[in-house]
Amino acid sequence: MFYAGIDLGGTNIAAGIVDEEGKIVKKGSVPTGRTRKPEEIIKDMCLLVQSLMKDVGITEKDLHSIGIGSPGTPDRENGIIIYNNNLGFKNVHVREEVQKYINVPVYLENDANCAAIAESVAGSAKGDEFAVVITIGTGIGGGIIINNKLYIGFNGAGGELGHMVLKLNGEPCTCGRNGCWEAYSAATALIRQTKQAAQENPSSKIVELVGGDLEKIDAKTAFDAARLGDETGIKVVDTYIDILADGLANMVNIFQPGVIAIGGGVSKEGENLLAPLREKMKGRTYCAEGVEKTRLVIAKMGNDAGIVGAALISKA
């Protein structure tokens, strides 16, 4: 059997046909066109999957299910996206709409949870009974694997790890609270921190790297400046990693998972990120000597995590 996975983002709809092992057989993407009606967006999702099925040479009979990952908490039972700010979806009956085109079971899940499923089934957390997957993007996405299963709490809304307050009365967060982990460690936050440092240090290499246009600063800029030995860049990166380490140490103290996997754009820094994180997390985790320690790794599935995780929702 094959599984279709759809990563429904604000910019693109990415989809793939995935095999039993979580390997993508064929994938593709189309623009979301987010200002359109939900029915039109869902139609494009289905046309994309149908075209991929045709490429692979399979029919509905070979398709186990379609899984769709998107931000927010879906109504899994009824196949409804309750609310998606990015797409302007409000109580959209996604399952019903999809089945007009492709009549197979349709599963919905939060996108950060899909990333965790992908890492658990086919990626960096494969073989770990307990795992936490942190996706650093516009926000901090969290996915929790317990007993090899996705943990979603009693009401399906669990695992909002980015909305753990880390600094009382700290930076405002999009959720309405202040001081959430997300407000410090999301890519968006790193960009904000980098811009501020550049404004305060106009001679910094950060400014040079973006040709003087601070609007061009992205989540990589501070790391690039640091690599050039720029003091401001080094300081921005060090402070960013320091707080990220505090959030991760909290995850260890709470969950003691076998592995914590970090995904999303910032995770492309690889060992540049992991080595100082590991160093800083020492002494911040609460664990007796001699007790086995949580591994900290980069998520393996990269940009495919959303597709693979969505495809395998039914396995989680």
CB of 201 to a second copy, least distance (A): 23
Cα separation, 11 vs 140, whole angstroms: 18
Identify the residue among 26, 43, 126, 177 touching a second copy (CB under 8 A).
177
- Which run of H or E residues covers position 234? helix 231-255
Q: Candidates 25-33, 221-229, 279-287, 303-311: pick the segment binding a second copy (CB under 8 A).
A: 279-287
CB of 203 to a second copy, least distance (A): 28
Identify the residue among 176, 200, 211, 215 touching a second copy (CB under 8 A).
176
CB of 282 to a second copy, least distance (A): 11
Facing residues of 73 across strands?
none
Residue 293: which residues within 8 A CB-CB, separation 6 or more? 285, 287
Report 185-224 residues binding a second copy (CB under 8 A).
none
Query: Which two three-digit tokens encode residue 70?
Result: 């998107």
CB of 186 to a second copy, least distance (A): 14
Question: Judged by CB under 8 A, how many residues of this single chain contact a second copy?
Answer: 52
Contact between 235 and a second copy by CB under 8 A: the answer reads no
Residue type, 14: A
Identify the residue among 257, 263, 306, 309 touching a second copy (CB under 8 A).
257
Please say whether the beta carbons of 64 and 2 come within 8 A: yes
Residue nearer to a second copy on the CB measure, 176 or 211: 176
Cα separation, 303 vs 301, whole angstroms: 6
Please say whether the beta carbons of 182 and 162 come within 8 A: yes
Contact between 292 and a second copy by CB under 8 A: the answer reads yes
Cα separation, 223 vs 233, whole angstroms: 7
What is the phi/psi pair of residue 9, to 5°?
A: -105, 175
Contact between 143 and a second copy by CB under 8 A: the answer reads no
Please say whether the beta carbons of 140 and 146 come within 8 A: no
| Contact string 92-131 vs a second copy (x = CB under 8 A) | ------------------------------------xxx-
Facing residues of 15 across strands?
6, 28
Contact between 280 and a second copy by CB under 8 A: the answer reads no
> Interface residues with a second copy (CB under 8 A)?
72-73, 82-83, 128-130, 142, 146-147, 151-161, 163-168, 170, 175-177, 243, 246, 249-250, 253-258, 283-284, 286-294
